[in-house]
Structure 1
Amino acid sequence: MASQLPSPSEVHLNPPASQWRYHASPSQTVVPSPVLAFHRRLPHYAQTPLHSLPSIAADLGLGHVLLKDESARFGLPAFKILGASWAIYRAVAEKIGLDVFSPIAAGLELGEIGALARERGVDLRIVTCTEGNWGRAMARMGRYLGVDVTVCVPSHMVEETREKIREEGAEVVVVEGGYDDAALASRRRADGGGALLVMDISWEGYEVVPKWVVEGYQTMLNESDEQVLAVTGGKPATHAVVPCGCGSIAQAVTQNFKSGLREQNGTPTAAVIAVELDTAACLKLSLEKGEVSSVTTGDSIMCGMNCGTLSTTAWPVLELGVDACIAISDLQSHQAVQELEELNIKAGPCGAATLAALKRACVTEKTRLGLDEKAVVVLYCTEGQREYITPS
């Protein structure tokens, strides 16, 4: 049963996380180059920019504030296609018996994969659910691979967002309720009709595909790690601020910045600050209670973060590795959108949420989080500008 938030505090600190290190098991380890090589095969691949925000750094008393801008990844307005593309490619390949690391796979055009499935008599249909950007990314990849995609969406999703998913070639199914209801509908469709379920949230018995999603996000992190050093003259990030919906991108960021391998290679780890919508703060509640806990969500301008339940694969990493969790309101996010727009950065509410959280952290927990004049803070702006109803 979903719970309500037990604490009015906007910030939850997790001090033990500073000592925790992520050590991937051999089955979890993926050399970044195959993922990056795959992403380079997609149309419009290019590194997304890292913006330096010196005026904000000065206002907050920080060394550097840098923003990784995912507003135009592969021509889509969000980072989601990094995880969606790799996960759907792995899932489809496994379904048709294709080794993605083989020379044969490397030599296939993306559109040939769907054709290969048909040659082998495999009925390939994919089903998923979304608050918006994930579904659009899945639909785009389905079009590239030549496979059909069905996307279940919550009933509060605006028609404009539904139409953008349809324009990518997917079928859209509207489900009464919120994101969790759409997720359940997707699972039922896959179980009942034999479709291939590709989701970025995991639960008991469904964990392999979501791990592939997290692997796909490593391309963004490899880029930003290099870009930070170039901008700062060799200083690595000391803090990473990332949105947390169901937890996949936050998991990827936490694994990256708390990696034991990173430390062995001579790069210090960084503090990770997760950002949540105050009416969907399931990570914050889970950290406070010491166990996975769900919340009842409503409507929000931060659609991509409006998830009431964490991914089961994300929780063990976030529980141990996130240094702080900050819940922000729609109004705080909107104000951050406006502030970034004044700097000519076109962020959506989820993307700007990281700036809002950083400002809140500097007001309430600046000293305890080590946010001082030596800090190199990376904000992961996961979403580009879009229309929404201005909160009051």
Structure 2
Amino acid sequence: MTAADPTHPESAHTHLNPHALTFAGRPRPEVLDFHRKLPGYAPTPLVTAPHLAAALGVQEAWVKDEARRLELPAYKILGASWATCCELEALFGPFDPWKRLEELAAQLRPHLPLTLVAATDGNHGRAVARMARWLGLKAHILVPHDMVGARQEAIVGEGARLQVIQGSYDQAVAAAATLADRRHLVISDTAWDGYTRVPGWVVDGYSTIFQEIDTQLAAQGLPQPDVVAAQMGVGSLAAAVLRHYRADGRQTRVVGVEPLRADCVLRSLQAGHPVQTPGPHPSIMAGLNCGTVSPLAWPLLRDGLSASVAVPDSRAEDAMRLLARDGVVSGESGAAGAGGLLDLLTEPDARRHRDALGLSAESRVLVISTEGATDPLAYARIVEDKAVTVESAG
């Protein structure tokens, strides 16, 4: 484990786990079958990224590009849609089989009015609001006070009621939890005491990403990646990555990445138990500005991650520009996974990190670009105004 240089507070923190475990797992084809019935479903692209590969010093880098997923600019709709429908089924089902959402919406009408409630830093709340609109339900979305206007407007554009909390994302989560009753269903991607069912379904919903990747790699006759980087806010996406790539003896190593100023997973790994990162959390990686790890994700993160890294905003910006050269439009949170690998594999401790991850010039890595340019003005400023400064790894 290495800590940040105290004379350079914007350097990254890292934590290595040489004894990462694998877990029992099973495929979830029913989740993919469900997503195929949603409006606009198509597999998102798996992009070959030669500029990223060169910067990382590996043979090949692949980017799963989630900039357009089910007509939204981020992957979150996968978890929100599956969790919403599972929760509705649990409370009001069983429903008759349906092929289109309109058929499910018709079966919900006797139970109206119903409101879906969620706290969000942007993408999850918009996804929950979209599900509410598709199903003829209401949506009440709570957001931290520092969310940029473009993301707030996108949520309102889905027809949701937007409530701004004068505090952090974690405070918005706490406020959302108080609204739960028979007419207000909280669809959260983080768990807390007594609330794990819905967040578990959110994690299940993300499995579609990895089923698609397996199919895309197999169609090209390509092997599984040696290392996968996963963004970490509360840890739900990283938990889904671990369930897939560390299941049933798979030996792919998983690297968790989070902002240096919202490093709740890294601090928890260092402490050996969940700890909170106090706010404010001002990182530009807004979707990852979380101060508390989900207790549902924690055991998987603790035991399954081969490495964890907390990176400064400048690394996310480097990665955004580098991914743009490979034809991928990736927002600040979307590029964080690539930014984490850049930090691990190009900084002074790169050789030790490569050895810990078993990486060589022949290795293949996978990153998930979890969002497109959800803040278009910031994207233009970061990507168009500066040149890429990352040197290729030797």
TM-score over 0.5 for the alignment? yes
The partner residue of 1:361 within 344, 349, 352 is 344
TM-superposed deviation, 1:368: 2.0
The match for 2:207 is 218
Identity, % of aligned positions: 37
- Provide Cα deviations, 1:67-120, integer angstroms capped at 9, x if missing partner: 110010011111000000000011112221225xxxx2335x31343432332x
The match for 1:21 is 22
Query: d(CA) in 1 for partners of 2:106 and 2:172?
Result: 30
Query: Following superposition of structure 1 onto structure 2, how do residues 1-392 of structure 1 map, counting pairs within 5 Å?
Result: 10-17=13-20, 20-24=21-25, 31-98=27-94, 104-107=96-99, 109-119=100-110, 121=111, 123-191=113-181, 194-231=183-220, 233-260=221-248, 263=249, 268-297=250-279, 298-363=281-346, 364=349, 365-385=353-373, 386-387=375-376, 389=378
Query: d(CA) in 2 for partners of 1:184 and 1:257?
Result: 32
Query: d(CA) in 1 for partners of 2:90 and 2:51?
Result: 49
Tell me if the contact between 1:362 and 1:371 (Cα under 8 Å) persists in the aligned partners. Answer: no
Unaligned runs of 5+ in 1: none
Indicate the SS of the match to 2:273: coil
Q: TM-score, normalised by structure 2?
A: 0.88
Indicate the SS of the match to 1:350: coil
- What one-letter code is carried by the residue in structure 1 that aligns with 2:108? A
Distance 1:57 1:6, change over 3 A: closer
Indicate the SS of the match to 1:65: strand
- Provide Cα deviations, 1:105-148, integer angstroms capped at 9, x if missing partner: 335x31343432332x4542211110001011111111111111
The match for 2:392 is none
Query: d(CA) in 1 for partners of 2:109 and 2:216?
Result: 42
- Provide Cα deviations, 1:243-297, integer angstroms capped at 9, x if missing partner: 000100000001101001xx3xxxx420000100000011100000000011023
Query: d(CA) in 1 for partners of 2:149 and 2:65?
Result: 26
Tell me if the contact between 1:239 and 1:270 (Cα under 8 Å) persists in the aligned partners. Answer: yes
RMSD of aligned Cα (Å)? 2.0
Unaligned runs of 5+ in 2: 6-11, 387-394
TM-superposed deviation, 1:6: 7.7
Tell me if the contact between 2:141 and 2:162 (Cα under 8 Å) persists in the aligned partners. Answer: yes
- What one-letter code is carried by the residue in structure 1 that aligns with 2:254? V
Query: d(CA) in 2 for partners of 1:324 and 1:169?
Result: 40
- Provide Cα deviations, 1:26-54, integer angstroms capped at 9, x if missing partner: xxx6x522211110111110010111112
Query: d(CA) in 1 for partners of 2:79 and 2:52?
Result: 30
Query: d(CA) in 1 for partners of 2:321 and 2:118?
Result: 32
Distance 1:60 1:198, change over 3 A: closer
TM-superposed deviation, 1:356: 1.4
- What one-letter code is carried by the residue in structure 2 that aligns with 1:256? H
